Structure 1
């Protein structure tokens, strides 16, 4: 089942509700979600006994879909494929095996498209879940409102080793010098390859592996060779009705040393030589017929799986789908570095503990035990979904490297991934960025005008 990971959560719809408004506590634990109130909360959570945890019940808010009918009560994560089946089996496993008999119950609303609207309503209504999944790109908005418990101290209670988190995953959980979540993965854009087409075009090494281009000129030359020898498109990417095309622009911009924002995140920075180079390059790829610029997500995927595209830019979430269904020799690879510095768009899934109106340290501790379990089983999640592990130890393990395709793009998680800017008003900035690039692609704006107006609109969004 396709998950639309690239859309932006409209978190601005939440009323400004501070954690201090949730002051009617039923215990000595502070319900303040700020770092200042964390010490007393941490102490109360740490003091919870095994006896108090017995039979605790907590609610879980997540997306990834509903597959309870097919997964049932299975706890076998070694055979799951896909996000829904893997997280369902992991939840079943925790429920069945934790020594306290803690029960995690998933709330309704498993659809990604409506997830953040539902979550926002729960916060506004004073009924947030005990555990909530959250994209790293959305976390800052919630943390800045005091809606999430800081996890710096909580991690010490259950020995969560966040020093093992890869840089992109560590960035995803932080705000203003404090952590507010436990990371679960890094998901990024990859190059998905039809190896058979690469062989037909002669773009392989002596071992028969595709040779990825390392400069823009090499890319264009390879694309021309592919078209001449096979008649197929060299690249596919969803540019219509999807943000993957813009993510390619972001990646190329950062490869050249540019960025979306200036160094202190106070202004846009896309109207730069690097921005012009990235956009001009992409436009040339489409203009020369090396990629179809009008493809939707589904059309781009169908073209790739139908054998008409040599390299599809899509995310980590489709690796196992393509590995098991592609009617050709398939390979996942790191996104090609064309402008000097390895970089690719990335985001992360993280686990958060929302601040509760009536702070109950037992429920907080049960929630902590659950997300500690999930972090400990990060390898199971990565192997079951295709997402990149959030943990350095997993990415470097023999088990992970031996799994199908995973070693091919482990470097994306370790060093290449560039997280989305970690700012509270990212949704507005992202909208301005997407509108700017799409104004060039679909509305007739020149590249220079698109980048100039886009930069101004990004700066304006930052100051909202």
Structure 2
């Protein structure tokens, strides 16, 4: 009898332990590289997720330094099984990460569990997280460059269309006429561009290459065939604007923003992440009427460089993720995608289609105006040398800066770039 009671008591205790384990809260270790306004917004999303999933899942988040430091830490940590459960990752870095074996595949079963699918994303965005037919991240946004404009200055110069956009967005001749019109109206430099930073200017240059159907890499070779000529064409246009005083010279990032927000330069090419800056200044009564649109068509058709913040799962060496942990991670990624409307307040375009198609998003300005860019996006070439802080940027930046500022001929710059890029392989 005592033996039977003991066995029964043991079964009760065991059942209690298993019940407790089944209801145990999963802690998801999270790393990101988001600072400034992005960081503030992501922290809010994490807080909202934790509140909604109280007692079930909690995100334990850490923010690390953006760029090379972040990706170096991910690689070394994953190699010893000490990486996070989930992390933010630039889509442009995925080919390198896959070659290093540090990302887990997001399997078809994972997508089904998350309630997400290829149909929910723009083709270019989906392709950006795909390597050899497999997906390695869940896209969260796209963050292209756009053309910011001073509506007041354009209206005063008679260069604003009836629908409140700059004139001349559909051709090189038209856009250059707008630049010259603004100069005649008194703007010393009509267009503010970050011409002191070739890495940043890659975005504009690559966009103009894409408008000619140019590719930085094809069949494993950089600037093969007529792609070198297309890069030269892009550089020649931008250099011409500088030489004619239509674009700022040797201007760093803060100065570019300052020239636009002060009203000195009525136009600016910059990332969508500056939208919150403009909104805040306008609400404070410190900014003119403004807008943001897709880049002008300088060559054959619209094309704009973009990258994507995405969520990835590191392949932590020797550390298999439990089924419970995996379920929690998938819930985090799914929830973030479906609740990304708030992320749009950072200027980014949510990658999840049902959000950008919603009435709430379509009512956001200027976001809804420039969201058309998702139909014309081009991402970095799929190369282990590409992506944020990748070596191809270092090579090109060396030649972009003097060329854009009129101190080197485009043809010479392209010749040097082509040689050095192919020498990296």
TM-score in terms of structure 2 length = 0.87
Query: Is 2:353 the counterpart of 1:392?
Result: yes
The aligned counterpart of 1:447 is 410
CA distance in 2, matches of 1:455, 1:324: 42
Correspondence for 2:395: 432
Moved more, 331-340 or 436-445: 436-445
* Aligned equivalent of 1:163: 119
Q: Retained in 2: the 8 A contact 1:271–1:451?
A: no
Aligned partners of 1:452 and 1:207: how far apart in 2?
Answer: 43
Q: In structure 2, how many angstroms separate the alpha carbons of the residues matched to 1:208 and 1:399?
A: 21
Alignment partners' CA distance in 2, 1:388 and 1:405: 11
- 1:355 corresponds in structure 2 to 315
CA-CA distance at 1:54 after TM superposition: 2.9
Q: In the aligned structure 1, how far is the partner of 2:165 from the partner of 2:158?
A: 10
Question: Could you tell me which residue of structure 1 aligns to residue 87 of structure 2?
Answer: 132
1:393-414 CA distance string (max 9 Å, x none): 222222111112122101012x
Cα separation, 2, equivalents of 1:115 and 1:343: 29
Match of 1:329 in 2: 289
How far has the Cα of 1:368 moved from its partner? 1.6
Q: Distance in 2 between matches of 1:51 and 1:97?
A: 20
Q: Please, what is the CA RMSD of the aligned residues? A: 2.3
Distance 2:221 2:56 in 1: 49
SS at match of 1:107: strand
Paired residue for 2:177? 221
The structure having more radius of gyration, on CA atoms, is: 2
Does 1:62 find its partner at 2:25? no
Q: Secondary structure at the match of 1:88?
A: helix
SS at match of 2:202: helix
3-state SS of 2:185 partner: helix
Distance of 1:303 and 1:212 partners within structure 2: 22
Q: Which secondary structure does the structure 2 equivalent of 1:251 belong to? A: helix
Contact 2:78 2:315 in 1 (8 A): no
Counterpart residue number, 1:26:
none
> How far did residue 50 of structure 1 move?
11
Quote the Cα distance in structure 2 between the aligned partners of 1:65 and 1:206.
Answer: 38
Matches within 5 A, 1:35-74: 52=22, 54-65=24-35
Provide the secondary structure at the position in 2 that maps to 1:230.
coil
- Whether the 8 Å contact between 2:199 and 2:396 is mirrored in structure 1 is no
Alpha-carbon distance between aligned partners in 1 of 2:33 and 2:301, rounded to the nearest angstrom: 34
Q: Distance in 2 between matches of 1:207 and 1:345?
A: 25
The yes-or-no answer on 1:235 pairing with 2:191 is yes
How many correspondences in the alignment?
A: 396
- The counterpart of 1:273, out of the listed 219, 225, 229, is 229
Shift of 1:439: 4.8
Contact 1:168 1:186 in 2 (8 A): no
5 Å-filtered alignment, 1:186-197, equals 186-197=142-153
The alpha-carbon distance between structure 1 residues 377 and 103, as it changes in their structure 2 partners (threshold 3 A), is same
Query: 2:9 corresponds to which residue?
Result: none
C-alpha change, 1:428 and 1:53, in structure 2 (3 Å) is farther
SS in 1 for 2:361: helix
1:118 positional shift: 2.9
2:362 is the counterpart of 1:401: yes
CA contact (8 A) 1:242 1:297 kept: no
Contact 2:154-2:266 within 8 A present in 1 as well: yes
Segments of structure 2 that go 5 or more residues without pairing to the other structure are 1-18
| 1:169 Cα offset (Å) | 1.8
Q: State how far apart, in whole Å, the 2-side matches of 1:378 and 1:265 are.
A: 36
Shift of 1:190: 0.4
Deviant stretches of 4+, over 6 Å: none
Offset of 1:373 from its aligned partner? 1.1
Structure 1 contact 436–454 (Cα < 8 Å) conserved: yes
Structure 1 gap segments, 5+ residues each:
1-48, 67-81
Partner-residue secondary structure (3-state), 1:105: strand
Deviation, 1:242, is 5.3
